[in-house]
């Protein structure tokens, strides 16, 4: 399994955590996870979204558990998913009253594969430690792992104030930004120690420390990775919409993953109105795949196009092939082991087309402007056919499907 990892840096050693049968850390491949944005009390909507996220490739799915109605819905969601054959561990996201919800809803406590708690907002200030301890004790009783998820938007203010005062007493050796980063790291580590003192095993604890700035994220996780050996969940919080969120998440997490840091990732993208929630799973997979850490789907290599391509045939073909592959992958993955390692090339003209196509398992070089209207297809490095006429795209899509199925 560790053979997937091709960074020049050694993978950071971490204690593996079994989350409902999915290993996080301990040398396991980096796990892709996601989170629903349905009201968990809406059982139909949540089941549909969890199933869609899992079908897209999410190996863990987190759901919000914020009130009695959502806690009561969790075991029903678990059962409905099981009846649909959707076998994905569910993670419960708790804030403020998680200790109470878990105590009042044993079915929820049992159905979840992991509890996520935020030490910055577990309960009310004066009862904070007690409520944190209650959740940890519940995790011990139900034999569930816990993610202690620090978030700078809800950072423990007492800890931050103490570190700010110490910094002042010492003559300001650190900037305010550095003190905040240190408070985030300390909050995660102190909370993990507290959970261990209560009796939660090290192999039941995952840590995260999410911030919204790329450089802050890199600095915080680099420090956290040095100071502990807990499995780490990477995520840039409030990453944003569209390309901004994708670039910021990929830049920050890519650097950390390259250094061997990170055992599971979630890319949090603000969905566009009516947008597809599974996009965040796809982006996580593409990040891990393009870096060579894991393989999820066949790679479709396509040239960017230029003045030699005056029609949109090749862009449409590349897009259709990519979409066909994603649509068919859930079935192909079970029928054709190793299918995810294939490479398909869709090229716009003769300049780089034949060369790139020969390096792919199957590739096509479409005719550019002024070229003979024919498209050579290469299979396993050899020219296998020449497509002509108005159905070149459809014919090639058929050949790709046949190649995979054969
Ligand atoms: Fe342009 Fe041809 Fe290169 Fe594609 S392969 S970018 S069409 S020159």
For the CA of 307, the nearest atom of ligand 1: 1
For the CA of 309, the nearest atom of ligand 1: 7
Strand partners, 300: 344
Q: Does 349 count as an annotated binding residue? A: yes
What's the CA gap between 154 and 189, in Å, rounded? 16
Q: Does 356 count as an annotated binding residue? A: yes
With a Cβ cut-off of 6 Å, ligand 1 is lined by 303-306, 308-309, 347-349, 351-353, 368
Q: Choose among 297, 287, 228: nearest CA to 258.
A: 287
Query: Which tokens sit at 196?
Result: 């261990």
User: How far away, in angstroms, is 218 Cα from ligand 1 center?
Assistant: 37
Q: Choose among 201, 258, 266: nearest CA to 10.
A: 258
pTM confidence score: 0.90
For the CA of 356, the nearest atom of ligand 1: 5
User: How far away, in angstroms, is 85 Cα from ligand 1 center?
Assistant: 45
- What band does 2 get if pLDDT is binned at 50, 70 and 90? very low
Q: Give 133-173 pLDDT, tens digit per residue.
A: 999 999 999 999 999 999 888 888 888 999 999 999 999 99
CB 343 within 8 A of CB 295: no
SS3 380: coil
User: How far away, in angstroms, is 350 Cα from ligand 1 center?
Assistant: 7
Query: Which tokens sit at 125?
Result: 């200030």
Other CB atoms within 10 Å distance of the CB of residue 292: 11
Q: Give 88-140 pLDDT, tens digit per residue.
A: 999 999 988 899 999 999 999 999 999 999 888 775 445 567 888 999 999 99
What's the CA gap between 256 and 262, in Å, rounded? 7
User: How far away, in angstroms, is 283 Cα from ligand 1 center?
Assistant: 26
User: Please, what sign has the CA dihedral across residues 177, 249, 234, 62?
Assistant: positive
SS3 7: coil
User: How far away, in angstroms, is 302 Cα from ligand 1 center?
Assistant: 9
What's the CA gap between 293 and 285, in Å, rounded? 10
Task: Report the chain's mean pLDDT, rounded to a whole number.
Answer: 91
The pLDDT score that the predictor gives to residue 155 is 87
CB 22 within 8 A of CB 263: no
What is the best residue among 301, 302, 305, 307 to mutate for testing ligand 1's pocket, by most ligand atoms within 8 Å of CB?
A: 305
339 Cβ neighbours under 8 A, 6+ residues apart: 298, 329, 332, 333, 404
What's the CA gap between 213 and 181, in Å, rounded? 11
Q: What angle do CA 362, 297, 247 make, to 5 degrees?
A: 115
User: How far away, in angstroms, is 310 Cα from ligand 1 center?
Assistant: 11
What is the best residue among 317, 345, 356, 368 to mutate for testing ligand 1's pocket, by most ligand atoms within 8 Å of CB?
A: 368
- What band does 3 get if pLDDT is binned at 50, 70 and 90? very low
Q: Give 287-328 pLDDT, tens digit per residue.
A: 999 999 999 988 888 988 888 886 677 888 888 888 888 888
Residue with the bigger pLDDT between 241 and 124: it is: 241
**CA-nearest residue, atom 8 of ligand 1:** 351
Q: Give 343-357 pLDDT, tens digit per residue.
A: 999 998 888 889 999
For the CA of 353, the nearest atom of ligand 1: 5
What's the CA gap between 334 and 254, in Å, rounded? 29
**CA-nearest residue, atom 2 of ligand 1:** 349
The pLDDT score that the predictor gives to residue 333 is 84
**CA-nearest residue, atom 6 of ligand 1:** 305
Distances from the Cα of 158 to the Cαs of 61, 134, 187, 214, in angstroms?
32, 20, 10, 25
Q: Does 108 count as an annotated binding residue? A: no
User: How far away, in angstroms, is 312 Cα from ligand 1 center?
Assistant: 13
Distances from the Cα of 362 to the Cαs of 213, 359, 366, 374, in angstroms?
41, 8, 13, 17
Q: Does 228 count as an annotated binding residue? A: no
């Amino acid at each position: 399994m560790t053979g997937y990892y091709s960074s020049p840096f050694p993978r950071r050693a971490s204690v593996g955590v079994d989350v409902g049968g999915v290993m996080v850390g301990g040398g396991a491949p980096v796990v892709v996870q996601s989170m629903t944005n349905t009201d968990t009390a809406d059982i139909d909507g949540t089941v549909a979204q969890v199933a869609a996220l899992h079908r897209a490739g999410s190996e863990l799915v987190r759901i919000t558990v914020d009130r009695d109605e959502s806690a009561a819905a969790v075991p029903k969601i678990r059962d409905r998913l099981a009846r649909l054959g959707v076998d994905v561990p569910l993670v419960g996201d708790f804030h403020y009253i998680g200790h109470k919800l878990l105590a009042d809803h044993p079915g929820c406590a049992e159905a979840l594969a992991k509890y996520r708690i935020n030490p910055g907002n577990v309960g009310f200030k004066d009862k904070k430690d007690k409520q944190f301890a209650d959740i940890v004790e519940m995790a011990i009783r139900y034999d569930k792992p816990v993610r202690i998820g620090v978030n700078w938007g809800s950072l423990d203010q007492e800890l931050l104030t103490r570190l700010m005062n110490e910094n002042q007493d010492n003559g300001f050796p650190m900037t305010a930004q550095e003190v905040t980063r240190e408070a985030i790291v300390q909050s995660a580590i102190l909370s993990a120690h507290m959970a261990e003192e209560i009796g939660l095993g090290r192999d039941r604890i995952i840590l995260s420390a999410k911030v919204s700035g790329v450089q802050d994220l890199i600095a915080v996780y680099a420090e956290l990775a040095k100071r502990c050996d807990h499995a780490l969940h990477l995520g840039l919080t409030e990453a944003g919409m569209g390309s901004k969120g994708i670039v910021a998440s990929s830049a920050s997490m890519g650097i950390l993953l390259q250094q061997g840091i990170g055992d599971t990732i979630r890319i949090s993208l603000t969905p566009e109105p009516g947008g597809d929630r599974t996009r965040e799973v796809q982006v996580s997979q593409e990040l891990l795949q393009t870096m060579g850490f894991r393989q999820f789907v066949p790679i479709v290599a396509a040239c960017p196009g230029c003045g030699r391509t005056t029609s949109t045939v090749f862009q449409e073909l590349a897009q259709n092939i990519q979409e066909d592959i994603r649509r068919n992958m859930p079935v192909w993955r079970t029928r054709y082991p190793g299918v995810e390692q294939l490479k398909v090339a869709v090229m716009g003209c003769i300049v780089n087309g034949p060369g790139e196509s020969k390096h792919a398992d199957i590739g096509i070089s479409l005719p550019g402007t002024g070229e003979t209207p024919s498209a050579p297809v290469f299979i396993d490095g050899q020219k296998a056919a020449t497509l002509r006429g108005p159905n070149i795209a459809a014919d090639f899509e058929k050949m790709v499907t046949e190649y995979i199925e054969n």
